[in-house]
Amino acid sequence: MKKDIILAGVGGQGILTIAAILGTAAIKRGWHLKQAEVHGMSQRGGDVQSHLRLSDQPIWSDLIPFGGADMILSVEPMESLRYLPYLSKEGWIIANRTPFTNISNYPNIEDIYAAITKHPKHVLIDADAISKEIKASRAMNIVMLGAAIGHIGFSEQEISDAIRETFSRKGETIVETNLRALQAGIQAQT
């Protein structure tokens, strides 16, 4: 069993936290993990992506092959489309509706939504609005994680445990906020 996930967004939107939580959950299962990150120049407001590979078998390549990803999980709508060459024919797009518009030529958002919803397996939710609604505005990324986990075969319990482990140093309030965000994400996509 393997899960190859492209995490996408704009520098600073928290995709590496998503990777850390999924990674923790995978390791608890006794799985292998490789996670390629983006550092350096590309982080300065540019598009960022991380290749997260989880498997019960040894993993060789740090990069997911084109056409091999089981999921693109993007915290920004346009960024979900940038990595389509990586998505397998059966793969899922999980995308946030709220655009990050730090460029002047950001396309018409309806065209972006149309390109996402054209894909047979997609989830498109407004994670920014949801996180604000539940007073967890800094946990938008965790809302997105919640919307994704069902489609990559991770249970709510596994991810909750991983969130506890990841955020425990930051105190119970932060843990609770993130668990609330996870829950909201799970509900939003069903």
Q: In the stretch 157-176, what mask flags binding to another protein with x, by CB under 8 A?
A: -------------xx--x--
Q: In the stretch 60-99, what mask flags binding to another protein with x, by CB under 8 A?
A: xxxx-xxxxx--------xx-xx-xxxxxx-x--------
Q: Which residues of 148-181 are buried (b: 16+ CB within 10 A; e: fewer)?
A: bbbbbebeeebbbebbbbbbeeeeeebbebbbbb
Q: Does 102 bind another protein (CB under 8 A)?
A: yes
User: Is residue 6 a contact partner of residue 148, using CB atoms and an 8 Å limit?
Assistant: no
Among 1, 40, 157, 190, binds another protein (CB under 8 A): 40
> Between β-strands 32-36 and 87-96, what pairing exists: parallel, antiparallel or unpaired?
unpaired
> Between β-strands 47-55 and 32-36, what pairing exists: parallel, antiparallel or unpaired?
antiparallel
C-beta of 105 vs 190, nearer to another protein? 105
The whole-angstrom separation of Cα 24 and Cα 30 is 10
Q: Does 32 bind another protein (CB under 8 A)?
A: yes
Please work out the total of residues on this chain that contact another protein, with binding judged by CB under 8 A.
56
C-beta of 66 vs 187, nearer to another protein? 66
DSSP label at residue 97: S
| Residue among 112, 118, 167, 111 at smallest CA distance from 138 | 167
Q: Does 43 bind another protein (CB under 8 A)?
A: yes
| Alpha-carbon separation of residue 13 from 75, 111, 172 (angstroms) | 7, 22, 22
Report in angstroms how near the CB of residue 142 gets to another protein at its nearest: 18
Interacting residue ranges for another protein, rule: CB under 8 A: 10-11, 23, 27, 32-47, 51, 57-63, 65-69, 78-79, 81-82, 84-89, 91, 102-103, 105-108, 111-112, 115, 170-171, 174
